[in-house]
Amino acid sequence: MQKKKLNTTRRAFLKRSASLLALPAIIPSSVLGRNGSVPPSEKIIVGGIGIGNRGRSDLRWMMVEKDIHFVATCDLNRPRGLLAKKMADDYYGNTDCKLYHNMPEFLAERTDIDALLITTGDRWHALASVMAMRAGKDVYSEKPSSMTVAEGQAVVDTAQRYQRIYQTGTQRLSQGNFTCANE
């Protein structure tokens, strides 16, 4: 077997090596997930539908998670939608959070969103959740998940059919005063 001679000169090798060594100085450590930050490719991109009082409370807890980035909200009620947008913009120190007023358009346009926080009025939880999962989004919805057994079954069927993660916010039910009431 004959060895192949490389046509690389010492000078060319050193030049390429030096440019590779400079890469860490050009690329911010946050992009690589260093210094305790989460790289952008690992962040969960989240949007919201109907972020009212309870939703803003959920959003406050959600945004402090390093691997979550809240990017858009959809609300028919403009003043309430603006409150959620302002909350996200203030938290991230920019004005990037986008406000929508039409849920089907929002779901169709925002293909970058991985998951949705749904805190609409109770009667809309199931419909918004089903539409979101059909659009390929995972869902965290406030309780109740539905108003009827049929709506609840539609939520379950949609989550299974589209292989989406669905969670209803019922964590308070495990607190002392609620467990006492259940007993």
The tens digit of pLDDT for each residue in 42-72 reads 899 999 999 999 999 999 999 999 999 999 9
User: Whole-model pTM?
Assistant: 0.76
Of 76, 73, 102, residue with least CA distance to 86: 73
Cα–Cα distance, 77 to 52 (Å, whole number): 9
Cα–Cα distance, 150 to 8 (Å, whole number): 71
Q: Which ranges of the chain would DSSP assign to H, the alpha helix?
A: 10-26, 53-63, 78-92, 103-109, 125-134, 149-161, 176-182
Q: How far is CA 109 from CA 134, 146, 174, in A?
A: 14, 26, 37
Cα–Cα distance, 183 to 178 (Å, whole number): 9
In the prediction, which pLDDT does 38 show?
A: 77
Cα–Cα distance, 129 to 116 (Å, whole number): 9
7 has a pLDDT exceeding 80: no
Residues of the chain with pLDDT > 90, as a percent, come to 68
Q: Where do we find the tokens 């690329």? A: 27
State the helix-helix crossing angle for 149-161 and 125-134, rounded to 10 degrees.
Answer: 20
Cα–Cα distance, 21 to 143 (Å, whole number): 53
Of 118, 84, 77, 108, residue with least CA distance to 98: 84
Q: Where do we find the tokens 């989460």? A: 38
Cα–Cα distance, 120 to 118 (Å, whole number): 6
Which CATH architecture does the domain made up of 44-182 adopt?
Answer: 3-Layer(aba) Sandwich (3.40)
Domain ranges of the chain: 44-182
Tens of pLDDT along 12-33? 666 665 555 555 555 555 555 5
